């Protein structure tokens, strides 16, 4: 299942409680501007991915993205194991940050695609000291190679850092030159310093804002989600 709109809010459910997950999903799933939900390792390790999917499916059929934080960093053959688990659970998308190298990137992308799961590839994290230019380990050219390899494998969905709009814009230009009609997903909004307005100025029409704490940490979850969707969609 694909996200049906060209712009939406994807709710990042980085939660440790199934009750909290259900409260967030139940409060937001009927809003038109909510495109889907992103789940991560905390819920998956504590409850299992199938159980988490069952909890979400009690309320909505909207797409679910699994973010292994960070998937695609193991040896190539484990991509099939990863994909089998997600496919059996009914996951729609999976985020990869394939820092292990091109052979792993190719194997994991191909394994997900074979199972009907949409691979979403990222290469730059939202933390300030990620890229070598900012004190981190990964240089900008290496990140560009990850996106180039993904494009050569037919990937059309990409993660860019929403709290670094200049960097996001730079990589968007590279990807736009390699991929026809790509879709972008931007975390780092809200609590990590990014904002929808700044991203909208550089991302164009086909992107989704990934927002977690600004929604699930709000006293009025539905109200916070509605406000963000209205800002994104210009209502």
71 is a domain residue: yes
What is the separation, in whole angstroms, between the first and last Cα of the chain? 26
Q: How far apart are CA 178 and CA 129, in angstroms?
A: 27
Q: How far apart are CA 26 and CA 228, in angstroms?
A: 17
177 is a domain residue: yes
Asked if residue 8 lies in contact with residue 207, where contact means CB atoms within 8 angstroms, the answer is: no
Q: How far apart are CA 73 and CA 18, in angstroms?
A: 27
pLDDT at position 235 is 65
pLDDT in tens, 85-132: 999 999 999 999 999 999 999 999 999 999 999 999 999 999 999 999
2 is a domain residue: no
Domain coverage including residue 103: 7-233
> Tokens for 152?
């050569």
1 is a domain residue: no
pLDDT in tens, 191-204: 788 889 889 989 98
Q: Work out the pLDDT band at 6, boundaries 50, 70, 90.
A: very high
**What CATH number did the domain enclosing 65 receive?**
3.20.20.70
Asked if residue 1 lies in contact with residue 92, where contact means CB atoms within 8 angstroms, the answer is: yes
Q: How many domains does the chain have?
A: 1
148 is a domain residue: yes
């Amino acid at each position: 299942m694909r996200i049906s709109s060209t712009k939406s809010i994807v709710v990042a459910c980085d939660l440790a409680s199934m009750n909290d997950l259900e409260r967030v999903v139940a409060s937001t799933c009927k809003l038109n501007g909510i495109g889907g939900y992103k789940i991560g390792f905390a819920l998956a390790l504590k409850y299992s991915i199938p159980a988490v999917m069952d909890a979400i499916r009690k309320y909505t059929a909207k797409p679910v993205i699994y973010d292994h934080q960070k998937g695609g960093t193991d040896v190539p053959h484990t991509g099939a194991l990863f994909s089998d688990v997600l496919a059996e659970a009914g996951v729609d998308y999976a985020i990869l940050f394939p820092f292990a190298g091109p052979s792993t990137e190719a194997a994991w992308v191909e394994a997900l695609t074979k199972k009907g799961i949409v691979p979403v590839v990222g290469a730059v994290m939202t933390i300030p000291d990620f890229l070598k230019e900012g004190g981190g380990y990964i240089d900008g050219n290496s990140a560009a190679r990850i996106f180039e390899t993904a494009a050569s494998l037919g990937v059309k969905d990409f993660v860019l850092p929403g709290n670094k709009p200049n960097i996001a814009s730079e990589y968007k230009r590279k990807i736009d030159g390699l991929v026809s009609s790509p879709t972008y997903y931007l975390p780092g909004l809200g609590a990590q310093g990014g904002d929808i307005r700044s991203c909208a100025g550089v991302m164009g029409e086909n992107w989704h804002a990934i927002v977690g704490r600004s929604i699930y940490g709000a006293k009025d979850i539905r109200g916070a989600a509605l406000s963000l969707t209205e800002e994104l969609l210009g209502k």
